[in-house]
Amino acid sequence: MKVQLVSGPPTDVRTFEDPGELADKLTPEDVEIIREIFNTPLTGSYNWDYESANAKIRRLYELGKRFNWNAELDVDWDVYFDKSEGPSQAGLNPLHDHPVYLAMSDEEKNEYAWRSQAQVLSQFLHGEQGAMMVASQLVSCAPTYDAKLYASSQTFDEARHVEVFNKYLRTRCGVEYPINPSLKLLLDKILTDPRWDLKFIGMQVLVEGLALAAFQTMAQTTRDPLLRQIVTLVMRDEGRHVAFGVNYLEDWIKSLPEEEIEERAQFAYEACAIMRERLFSTVVEEEFGFDREEARRAAIDSAGGQAFRNFLFERMIPNLKRVGLLTEKVKPKFEALGVLQYENAATDAEIDWAALERPLETGRIEPIAAE
């Protein structure tokens, strides 16, 4: 095993050989570990009172144990899918009528589509690693017994998510893209901030809300039954995570001094601004000859981009309001983002227990016929 210490995440695109062929060629000496160090002034705490004090959080913890799916055994990795048909439903490419796209051969268009999906799924992978590390921090710094139990179960959830997206990228897409710089900036802020409640806000409300919106969009647009099964399983976990964060933070935030509330509200606004505008990557488009800003604007203004923002802010804005972070000072800023109309929508504090308790859809799935 070789270890490489780096000062930032890799920027190169990684491609993978057929995993069956590669397994026979690799030795332990061929594996290279790439590490980027970060430091955090994390303040941990013991909790010596082992009595459960929050029935909702304990119930979410019990659901996590009951629906603890296995990425190897409960996902149908062998389901057939004709990759020549493309990964997503027709008509979703925002650059479908661009001269660069029209000049591509059918093979190039299919490669462009799969690489575009790989780029999105790579951000899922990197984001889930960040979520796994933040959840592990919460085990130490969460102040109550119930929260520590739940954060420990969430850490294992996030580990499964890293595992399942990594395997899909390697076996279905054959390529992995580096982390989006704006996503990396957001994760770094959450991981290195010393305040435990900001970690809760950043991960449980903001990043997990982002993940749910992205997964919901992917579940509705993918043609691949394998990917639909994966994101459906992951969404069940993420729904519990957001519900945990909103319910746990609701009383805590309101007990803080006004100045500290405004600091956290400003952080939430800045994170939302990043999510709205700066998480649309153009790496793949640039590979295929598109102009960066033109491609970014097309992605933001597309039907898919608009659907993603609707899913994201329809649940994120009311959640922020519920926990007390949609203050009068930041409201005008959210209004300028064009997302304040969602402030009175349903929140994840009102947990849909029936949805979270439905049996998981695991095992063999039927392939989708060609359109």
Instruction: Look at residue 168 and tell me if it is in a domain.
Output: yes
Task: Tell me which residue of 40, 53, 44, 57 sits closest to 153, measured CA to CA.
Answer: 57
- Judged against a pLDDT cut of 60, whether residue 19 lies above it is answered with no
pLDDT digits (tens, 9 = 90+) for 104-120: 999 999 999 999 999 99
How many domains does one find in the chain?
A: 1
Q: Is residue 366 part of a domain?
A: no
Query: Tell me, what's the pLDDT at 368?
Result: 57
Q: Is residue 159 part of a domain?
A: yes
For the stretch 36-56, pLDDT in tens is 988 888 889 999 988 888 899
For the question of whether the overall pTM of this predicted structure is more than 0.85, the answer is yes
Q: DSSP H helical segments within 49-204, as ranges?
A: 55-66, 99-102, 106-141, 145-168, 181-192, 196-199
Q: Is residue 11 part of a domain?
A: no
Instruction: Express as a percent the part of the chain with pLDDT over 90.
Output: 68
Rounded to an integer, the average pLDDT of 249-271 is: 94
Place of tokens 């051969």: 105
- Whether 109 maps to a domain, the answer reads yes
pLDDT one-digit tens code per residue, 289-348: 999 999 988 888 888 788 888 888 998 999 999 999 999 999 999 999 889 999 999 898
CA 60 distance to own-chain centroid: 20
How far, CA to CA in Å, does 49 sit from each of 53, 86, 148, 168? 10, 54, 12, 42
Which pLDDT value is given to residue 111? 95
**Beta-strand pair 175-176/14-15:** antiparallel
CATH number at residue 252: 1.10.620.20
The pLDDT, as a whole number, for residue 26 is 56
| pLDDT score at 53 | 85
Whether the pLDDT of residue 235 is over 90: the answer is yes
Q: What's the CA gap between 334 and 200, in Å, rounded?
A: 21
pLDDT in tens, 148-200: 999 999 999 999 999 999 999 999 999 999 999 999 999 999 999 999 999 99
Distance between CA 61 and CA 338 in Å, rounded? Answer: 35
pLDDT band at 28 (very low <50, low <70, confident <90, very high): low
pLDDT of residue 369: 53
Letter for the amino acid at 294?
A: E
| Residue 202 near residue 186 (C-beta atoms within 8 A) | yes
Between 28 and 153, name the one with better pLDDT. 153
Q: Which amino acid is at 365?
A: I
Residue 251 pLDDT greater than 70, yes or no: yes
Assess if residue 67 is contained within a domain: yes
Instruction: Report d(CA 299, CA 92) in Å as an integer.
Output: 10
CA–CA dist 139, 45 (Å, integer) = 9
* Segments forming the whole domain that contains residue 319: 56-356
How much is the pLDDT for 124?
A: 95
Query: Is residue 111 one of the residues assigned to a domain?
Result: yes
Choose between 10 and 269: higher pLDDT.
Answer: 269
% of the chain at pLDDT higher than 70: 94
